Structure 1
């Protein structure tokens, strides 16, 4: 451990690159700025953590009311709008999602893909090992100065032909950075990520009209976006940035937040860049919040949980209507399929992409995300067709406000009542969470599996569904005569235990000879973590927080 004023680095990394990057990032002036920020906002951050615990206790004990009425006092004008957007945020048609900032090649390719936004992700698609955190921030530092290169790729803020802008996604408020103490306490990963980015890069991004822009994830209530609003206001004054230059798009991923979307936009009014609609994090939040209730048992997520289901369709329509009423862009989720010819042809992939994004657009969405960079160009062509005459968004389309007249709480809580658990769905869930934990240990926050990108969002729904199925002895849906021979009536821990062992053995068998022993030992640890995760008395609210707390994962940085 070594010290600089009140800031303490818990671990020293002997890697010369990391040492040099830390010296670049953690300058004396930055440390002064960061300590000031924490001295002002750490108590409020602590309050958010306490309110989250209280809220979850209320939900579990059926004393929390899911309601649209939150007693916020708006200004006299009921037709208020968010503050005007900068010109480049009028076009939110295509963002690249899950871009790991520690991966130089993919980061630069994304920034040169022609998409409007690049979600530089320290959250869902990122594993926050200390070396990854430092590499990621150092890469962004270099990018904003035109100093990062990969082969013939670079990125220059001051190039008039530069289309893409950085949408910086700090860690969510549930994540703590264990490698830094300030005033004897571990610091918020979200505030550290925000501070490093805004201090070093905010003025440059603002100078060239490229930000600073943010995604805010895992928001549970409007009180949390009021917190971020205060952080933004203070930062702009402290760093002498132009007022309102910080803009943030909030990902609506938590069940409690969907009832507060209007208030969330209000709380960030000067800084709002709209809302984003997800699928798996939001679906998982039903189980992590309400999974103790047997009446709310989710059916197989692969077969029955999709955006055509009423609870998800209603959520997406309401998000679009609220955003457009307030003059804010509304964006859809990330298209997770990637090019893999062993899974499907290129033509089929494009067909599914265009159908998916066309449905979103016809509901009123102003854009969405993809992971596969090769999908940017065909998606651009679709938006040219759907947004004629050079139109950049649908914010002023009156028909997109229709859902506001019919909204009610029950529509957002009506999970699918038909269908049960399936063997294929359980098997896929086990595969995804086993591979996610394995990749996490290997310092990777996302991976490609069976033609899809899997990140913490899909891992969240996978592990929470298994937890709920074991807890409530979910009934198997028998789909063929063969399944009648080996499937039990209910899902049990012993069945999940044995199936997981079989899956792990298959993974080991698929591994080449030279890596087999290492992977076998690694997957032993993964298995123990998995069993603990799906048999907890209470379902952990956030998978990533749980994994960060597992010391077995972190013998080193």
Structure 2
């Protein structure tokens, strides 16, 4: 390819483009254009080195937490917390966010989600997508077509097209910790975050801005306000180069790591021209809580089903998020309802819908300005709750009696039990999800819940925590056992064999369950808890 520029961009002339090495790259010629690759290379050269420093800082911070220093609000930013300021005004397209639906960047799922009746749709390149090259690039093609009103699909059974009125789309790129190995700059894999963001903003940013439809983003896995500030730098640069008015890009930051929960005001502040709200990313937040406090037995959690939003550190974090956002005139978004319709069991289906209803009622009454669901059938349930409690477009200006949420409350663990059934569920769900992920599917229905990568992360880190600190397990026979390697290995073998017996040996092997079992075991029993399961999984994803 020869480096060149187009008249409508101000991209500097570099002789070296980002290099694409995947054999299917030719299928995405409209996306991987020379100018787009120049833009990606410029993003990586300008911002990649700082990203690597920030990722290294995460390791240093974890060492401090392991040594007993707890996450807290930074002293150096006290002036931000104590001063008067607000985020920039919210555009009309993002004003009413009462129900948002999320899902992978699969074409059919995107069309269905945009047509679901939800106010917003988050197209997820991250936890709900397995990052095969084809998944990521076809997702970019879908974004390209959406921005040009040509997102359609025809199959043998049905044709899909967008309704006249659709949800507003936000895009979640992959997190700062991930890389895209099939696109390199100066011989090194580029940041997956910059890759996902860069291709979308380059091809679609100006069109979306001209139509008042974006570009809007969800930012995942941030651990520090400096990481948010790096995103702000990326936004400023991209808008200048692509002739998009400064401040047009709007983001919502997922507060899904424990350290970030102590820096919510700082994150809003450094992004204040480019942010409209924060979101309670509850499942990843549980994972981060375990990972951050991994060295300390006093923060041992019970099984996942007993770690609810109504108490403990989750309740404190949700309440502080609402208070923080509304103080700074930003949206406070609620978390995910993972339930999906239960076919063939009316009682179970009614129970699932009622559970969603009660969860959304809790969020609306707490003060959230909107919430997430994972399935189109749950949109009306959540919408009905928020319509009743929140007749206006949001609750930002509603007067409330706020409690003081202490840092100690933000760390309070849930009380409860660890049962044999809970251990088995973690093993079973973890293996099933990883196998699906290795086969290219990131949003997976398992046991009547729509699961994403956060599920597998919680499952394996809970096993690790219970093993590390010798949790007491209530066994099915009515007695207790200490969680040991021997007990865990027995349950692992039994659950793995049960899956194989259920689906058959051929499907077990072809579905990559052996690799999934090995990977789950390795990350759940490592001497040092691996940071992210997906980093190890990515190494074998397309082998």
TM-score (norm 2): 0.92
TM-aligned CA deviation for residue 470 of structure 1:
1.3
Tell me what 1:436 maps to. 433
- Structure 2 gaps of 5+ residues are 4-14
Tell me what 2:410 maps to. 412
Pick one of 231, 250, 253 that aligns with 2:253.
250
SS in 1 for 2:368: coil
Pick one of 285, 288, 308 that aligns with 1:285.
288
1:208-227 alignment to 2 at 5 Å? 208-227=211-230
Question: Does structure 1 conserve the Cα–Cα contact (< 8 Å) formed by 2:201 and 2:215?
Answer: yes
TM-aligned CA deviation for residue 503 of structure 1:
1.3
Seen in structure 2, the aligned counterparts of structure 1 residues 75 and 446 have a Cα distance that, compared at 3 Å, is: closer
Tell me what 1:232 maps to. 235
Pick one of 77, 80, 85 that aligns with 2:90.
85
Distance 1:341 1:71 in 2: 54
Q: Alpha-carbon deviations, 1:432-476, whole Å to 9, x = none?
A: 110111012101112101110111111111110001111122111
Matched, 1:352 2:352: no
SS in 1 for 2:248: coil
Matched, 1:155 2:162: yes
Seen in structure 2, the aligned counterparts of structure 1 residues 514 and 65 have a Cα distance that, compared at 3 Å, is: closer
Distance 1:275 1:516 in 2: 40
1:297-336 alignment to 2 at 5 Å? 297-302=300-305, 304-336=306-338
Distance 1:527 1:46 in 2: 31
Tell me what 2:418 maps to. 421
Distance 2:118 2:38 in 1: 36
Q: Alpha-carbon deviations, 1:480-539, whole Å to 9, x = none?
A: 6x343xxx61111222212122112221222257635534xx322222222211111111
Tell me what 2:12 maps to. none
Distance 1:489 1:516 in 2: 31
Distance 2:202 2:432 in 1: 36
Question: Does structure 1 conserve the Cα–Cα contact (< 8 Å) formed by 2:130 and 2:440?
Answer: yes
Distance 1:508 1:355 in 2: 36
Tell me what 1:554 maps to. 542
Distance 2:203 2:410 in 1: 41
TM-aligned CA deviation for residue 166 of structure 1:
1.0
TM-aligned CA deviation for residue 346 of structure 1:
3.9
Distance 2:78 2:458 in 1: 36
Distance 2:522 2:359 in 1: 36
Seen in structure 2, the aligned counterparts of structure 1 residues 297 and 3 have a Cα distance that, compared at 3 Å, is: farther
TM-aligned CA deviation for residue 398 of structure 1:
1.7
SS in 2 for 1:333: strand
TM-aligned CA deviation for residue 126 of structure 1:
0.8
Matched, 1:489 2:481: yes
SS in 1 for 2:161: coil
Distance 2:417 2:523 in 1: 22
TM-aligned CA deviation for residue 301 of structure 1:
1.9
Distance 1:329 1:435 in 2: 35
Distance 1:51 1:332 in 2: 29
Matched, 1:508 2:496: no
Tell me what 1:37 maps to. 43
Distance 2:177 2:80 in 1: 31
TM-aligned CA deviation for residue 345 of structure 1:
4.2
Tell me what 1:340 maps to. 342
TM-aligned CA deviation for residue 40 of structure 1:
1.7
Seen in structure 2, the aligned counterparts of structure 1 residues 76 and 181 have a Cα distance that, compared at 3 Å, is: closer
Tell me what 2:533 maps to. 543
Pick one of 423, 444, 452 that aligns with 1:455.
452
Tell me what 1:60 maps to. 66
Tell me what 2:474 maps to. 477
Distance 2:344 2:489 in 1: 30
TM-aligned CA deviation for residue 175 of structure 1:
0.7
Q: Alpha-carbon deviations, 1:134-193, whole Å to 9, x = none?
A: 11111111121122212443238xxxx434111100001111111111012111000100
Seen in structure 2, the aligned counterparts of structure 1 residues 342 and 491 have a Cα distance that, compared at 3 Å, is: farther
Report the number of matched residues: 527
Question: Does structure 1 conserve the Cα–Cα contact (< 8 Å) formed by 2:223 and 2:258?
Answer: yes
SS in 2 for 1:308: coil
Seen in structure 2, the aligned counterparts of structure 1 residues 324 and 492 have a Cα distance that, compared at 3 Å, is: same
TM-score (norm 1): 0.90
Distance 2:244 2:201 in 1: 10
Distance 1:543 1:122 in 2: 17
SS in 2 for 1:178: strand
TM-aligned CA deviation for residue 278 of structure 1:
2.2
Distance 1:530 1:524 in 2: 10
Tell me what 1:532 maps to. 522
Question: Does structure 1 conserve the Cα–Cα contact (< 8 Å) formed by 2:2 and 2:34?
Answer: no
Question: Does structure 2 conserve the Cα–Cα contact (< 8 Å) formed by 1:419 and 1:477?
Answer: no
Question: Does structure 1 conserve the Cα–Cα contact (< 8 Å) formed by 2:339 and 2:353?
Answer: no
TM-aligned CA deviation for residue 3 of structure 1:
10
Cα RMSD for the two superposed structures: 2.1
Question: Does structure 1 conserve the Cα–Cα contact (< 8 Å) formed by 2:436 and 2:442?
Answer: yes
Seen in structure 2, the aligned counterparts of structure 1 residues 466 and 342 have a Cα distance that, compared at 3 Å, is: farther
TM-aligned CA deviation for residue 542 of structure 1:
1.8
Matched, 1:6 2:6: no
Distance 2:227 2:290 in 1: 22
Distance 1:45 1:517 in 2: 38
